Structure 1
Amino acid sequence: MIKEVIVVEGRDDVTAVKRAVEAECIAVGGFGINAKVIERIKEAQRRKGVIILTDPDFAGEKIRRIISKRVSGIKHAYISQKEGIKDGDIGVENASPEAILRALNNAKITVEEKQELFTLQDLIYFGLSGDNNAKERRDFIGRELGIGCCNSRQFLSRLNNYGIPKEEFKAALKKLEEKEKGE
């Protein structure tokens, strides 16, 4: 598994990256980079490191510059226009798994053994999955940990891939419980 979180433009790019490697990805949604997305990228950089892999076009370079100005110390991966073009459309989503892997290797990825500190049973036990209030509870914990709001499967993946320590998770749970008692 790649240690760093890979930042791409959209969902199709995430799919292409996951065909090539096992990694956590953040899709910025094109030019829709808002403060929440930047905070997630900063948190990913703090915890694991970040590699930007955007489309080899003007828009991709502009997105790369926007992120680079706001998040320091990130790595950059590049595919060529030739590797990213298909039927006149240019983008990471069109690149072969080999081209993506080559770009990531050139960015000096770090490979680490995948750790699974958290399981689906943990999410169920703490009311973060399979409970009427699970979504609201995940959203609160996700904000506390800086990993964002998402469904149970993605939440579990982020807990493990961002390397969230059990102590930090328990501290966020405690804040949630205190909030729920106060309501």
Structure 2
Amino acid sequence: MKNNIKELIVVEGKDDISAVKNAVEAQVIQTSGLGLEEKTFNIIEKAVNTTGVIILTDPDYAGEKIRRMINERVPGCKNAFIPKKEGTKNGNVGVENASPQAIREAIDNVKVTATAAKAEHTMESIMHLGLLFGEGSKERRQIVGDRLGIGPVNGKQFLNRINSFGISLRELEDAMEDLKKES
């Protein structure tokens, strides 16, 4: 039996809609890529105040740009992230390539931007953890980002996301410990 999701799920295209509906029962809307229309923003704005909104875009540059555009225009959206490795098939990256289980896990681990988020983390603190600069930092950041459910991002975006989603130092340290155990 599929989980019933009350929030409106925002994806990029028709194939993404099919993949999401194969994983969960939900209302889904597409952005048609970067060509977000005013009517789409209006639907998202209305839904964020009624049912809620989950943004589930592709784990690539365009998907991140669309996510950023929506979050800037419509505060209060939730964000779900599919790890890039889970959304890649034959070199093609997208939600449509993710398994139903990966989609359900992304939705289960949705992140909400904390109101009045306190900047607990700094560039120095994530550098000290080996997640910024140096050999292997990009790979470590991607693995830790996947574990935390915040997606693959560069160092500056990583810092912004862990602070804006209210990820504690303990959560970050636990993800780093899991990474060390696997190495």
TM-score range relative to shorter protein: 0.5 to 0.7
The separation in 2 between residues aligned to 1:97 and 1:21, in whole angstroms, is: 8
Equivalent residue in structure 2 for 1:100, among 94, 98, 103: 103
The separation in 1 between residues aligned to 2:49 and 2:17, in whole angstroms, is: 21
The separation in 1 between residues aligned to 2:17 and 2:27, in whole angstroms, is: 9
1:44 is displaced (CA, Å) by 1.2
1:47 is displaced (CA, Å) by 1.3
1:108 is displaced (CA, Å) by 6.7
Match of 1:72 in 2: 75
Q: Does 1:58 align with 2:47?
A: no
Secondary structure of 2:54 counterpart = strand
Letter in 2 for 1:104: I
Figure out how many residues of one structure are paired with residues of the other and give that number. 109
**CA-atom RMSD, angstroms?**
1.3
The separation in 2 between residues aligned to 1:2 and 1:9, in whole angstroms, is: 18
Letter in 2 for 1:16: A
Match of 1:40 in 2: 43
Flag structure 1 segments of 5+ consecutive residues without an equivalent. Answer: 110-183
Match of 2:11 in 1: 8
TM-score scaled by length of structure 2: 0.58
More strand by share: 2
Q: Does 1:26 align with 2:41?
A: no
1:149-164 equivalent positions in 2, closer than 5 A? none
The separation in 2 between residues aligned to 1:25 and 1:18, in whole angstroms, is: 8
Secondary structure of 2:29 counterpart = strand
Whose Rg is larger?
1
Secondary structure of 1:44 counterpart = helix
Secondary structure of 1:78 counterpart = coil
Q: Does 1:88 align with 2:105?
A: no
Deviations 1:70-97 (A, max 9, x none): 1011100000110000011000000000
TM-score scaled by length of structure 1: 0.58
1:34 is displaced (CA, Å) by 1.4
Letter in 2 for 1:58: Y
The separation in 1 between residues aligned to 2:111 and 2:8, in whole angstroms, is: 13
Runs of 4+ in 1 over 6 A off after TM superposition: none
Deviations 1:131-174 (A, max 9, x none): xxxxxxxxxxxxxxxxxxxxxxxxxxxxxxxxxxxxxxxxxxxx
